[in-house]
Structures are given as C-alpha cells and as structure tokens.
Structure 1
Amino acid sequence: MPRYAAIIYAADIDPTLPEYAGMMRDYDDFNAAAAAVLRGGEALYPTASATTVRVTGGKGGDVVTTDGPYAETKEVLTGFYLLECADLDEAVAVAATIPAAWNGAVEVRPVVEFEA
C-alpha cells in the first residue's frame, strides 16, 4: 500500500506550552481516529530552535551553519505524519482531518519506495 507524507505548515508555536493544551487534545483525537493509517510522525519545536546547514563549494566544502530557520514565513514546518493509504484520495481525506488543516496547511506528498 502506498505511503504519503502529510507535511504540516502552521503558526510557529511551541506545542509543549500549557496554552496549547486544547489544540493538543485535537491532535490526540486525530491520532486515535487515524490510527489505522498512521505509520509515524512527530511535532517539531519552533523555528527559533533550528540550525540551517549549508556546504559551500559543493561536496567536501566548508560547512556553514546559521541559527534559526532558512526563511522567515508566517506558516512554518511544524511536523509531519507518515500515512499508509490506499490512494491519494484517502490520504487527502485523512489530511483534511489533521487539526493544522483547519487554520494552516497540510501538504500531502507520495513517499518514494526504494528497493531494499
């Protein structure tokens, strides 16, 4: 069965803070409802905790790091789910029930299946 990444873009918040407990209950509800197709997923800390890595000069070049995100945006990558669904239509239907879809965006993308 094909797998799909449901990539979540939403407001740049720290979901571990108490003021987001209600939102986290929505995610708990989603996790329970979609358990049959969930194959993994994680939430990410805010972009302020990010480190951006670049290699100048190509392979073997100098490693340059920058604190913070690659770009400033209103909605940021906040997490993802790995879904195993019959087809794209089912993956989109599941993604529509992810709480971030209600006030942010969820990008659904097929996962490349490499040979073992």
Structure 2
Amino acid sequence: MSWERRGGGGGGGGGGGGGGKEEEEEEEEEEVEEEEEEEEEEEEEKEEIEEEWKEEVEVEEEEEEEEKEKEEEKEEEEKEEKEKEWKEKVEEKEEEKEEEEKEEKEKEWKEKVEEEEKEEEEEEEKK
C-alpha cells in the first residue's frame, strides 16, 4: 500500500511540472507581444520618417516650381521690355523718315515756288 501512495504522490509532482510549462508559455507570449510592439513602433517610426520625407520632397518641389515660375515671369518681362524698346526704335525711325520726307517736300515746294516766281519775273521783264 505504501508503494501505491508514493506512486500517487509522484503523479502530483508531474502536475507541478505542468505549472512550469504555463510560466514558460506566458513568458514566450510576453516576449512575442514585446516583439510585436517593437515592430509596430518601428513601423510607425518608419511611416513618420516616410511622411516627413514626402513633405520635404513636396516642399522642395513647390519651391522649385515657384522658382521656375519666377524665372519664366522674369524672362517674359525681359522679352516684353525688348519688344517695347524695339517698337520705340521703329517708331523713332519712322518719325525721322517722315520728318525727312516732309523737309524734302518743303524744299521741293520752295524750289517750285521760287522757280514760278522767277518765271513770272522773266515774263514781266519781257513785257
């Protein structure tokens, strides 16, 4: 009989060993949870970094676009200024030409008037 009791007692010891397994499983679960949390934090950090990077890229692209637009505006203004100067020069040349033509016509008219007066004088002298 004593042997049987001891054998029963041994079975109880086995149950205690089972309790040790539960602690190991809990520890493993905690480690897995910690690893998952770390992975989530790393993923969040990665996403934050990517978001910051995207924002920086957008800002840089906007700045480049603004700079490009300013450069284009500047070029357009320079082009308009050159066209304006060119038109002024053309107008000035045209005015000079008109003035020269006017002076030439006046000169021709004076010569014609003088010629006619001269002819009239000659005719009067003949009479």
TM-score (structure 2 length as normaliser):
0.15
Higher relative contact order (CA 8 A, sep 6+): 1
Higher helix share: 2
Higher strand share: 1
TM-score (structure 1 length as normaliser):
0.16
